[in-house]
Amino acid sequence: MRDVCAEGESGIINILRTYGSLQEYNRTQGAITLTNGSKIKLFSADEPDRLRGPQHHGSWCDELAAWRYPDTWDQLQFGMRLGDHPRTVITTTPRPVALIRNLVSRSDGSVKVVRGSTFDNADNLAPQALVELQARYAGTRMGRQELYGEILDESDSALWTRSLIEDARIKPEDAPPYFRVVVAIDPAVTSGEGSDETGIVVAGATPDGHYYILEDATMRGTPENWARKAVEMYRKHKCDRVIGEANNGGDMIESLLRQVDPTIPYRKVTATRGKRVRAEPISALSEQLRLHMVGNNFAQLEDQLVTWEPDSDKSPDRMDAMVWAVSDLMGGSNALRSLAVLADFCPSCRLPLIKGTKFCPRCNTAIITPA
């Protein structure tokens, strides 16, 4: 925000100086004052709470599609209330995240879309850079998105489609009792500001061979932070165990989890096959309408599912965690699954019950038998 949008070669400061409109720039406070008295305040998209309270006549949001926290956009909109017509300008590579798709799809005239390619800006770029970009990315999906500004909602080679996901989605109130629930972790190698996220996904299974994604708690943070988050999910959803992908973390994952909760059940898994081979059986469940998103809180996970290209070297952390969770549920004991068919399950504590039981003897929850 400061180094590019404000102080960059074509940033606000240079433009204002060119037109003689800059009165003062306080770099420490991120405040710009114009000669006509107007004020510009700089905010980081990584700090949504700083936008609670301030109000504005207008705003400029750069690289909105890459913002980590949707709450930043929401807090900004709450403050867009000064003047007769407060407006927002968005400049971004159009990655198909939920917020961008929502804005572009509006048909009420509130959004105007202007597209431009990297080559429209050729006069201001190094000729050799343009040649290299054209040679390397012409005709590729990345080139269509990054160079030509296309919104690629789904990858032609992706293992999931939005229609498959939507057709199998269920409301939380319609979720059945699960006979097994696990939380899976796909840990990031590093924990810096630019690091990958640590995938944390909770999934459950029913005896009829259906699988349910209950929560995506993926986060960026220190190993201690994501270990605490995983244990929080384990307790919240009354999981049977935690699954950890150990290629990068080795025994570190178990050690971290034990520091938070020494009694937590844990199973280490190791990736001996490629991501595509691991993901294809889970994708097949979606095609059979046996993999269900419980609710609508999975926008980022779903974006990864429909845009990840199997031959890509990118690491889809949320998808990986989901695949590990469902794979563990699929590999459960056949004997346990068979017994589960013969029993009812308490929807609260998941205690197996004799069919026809009216109240759970463990937590006293009323057992409602489906009609």
Q: Which domains does the chain have, with CATH numbers?
A: 2-146 (no CATH), 162-332 (3.30.420.280)
pLDDT digit string, tens, across residues 297-344: 898 899 889 888 777 767 789 999 999 999 999 886 555 555 566 667
Q: Is the pTM of this model over 0.85?
A: no
Q: How far is C-alpha 34 from the chain's CA centre?
A: 38
Backbone angles phi, psi at 78, to 5 degrees: -65, -30
Paired sense of beta strands 241-245 and 266-269, if any: parallel
Whole-number Å distance between alpha carbons of 218 and 226? 8
pLDDT in tens, 196-249: 789 999 999 988 889 999 999 999 889 999 999 999 999 999 999 999 988 665
Helices within 190-309 (DSSP H only): 223-236, 246-249, 252-260, 275-287, 299-307
- DSSP-assigned letter for residue 5: I
State residue 231's pLDDT score. 96
Residue 180's nearest CA partner among 326, 370, 369, 356 is 326
Ranges of residues in the chain whose predicted pLDDT is under 50? none
Residue 322 confidence (pLDDT):
96
Amino acid at the residue 347 = P
- pLDDT at position 158: 82
Can you give the pLDDT at residue 339?
59
What integer pLDDT is reported at residue 326 of this predicted model?
95
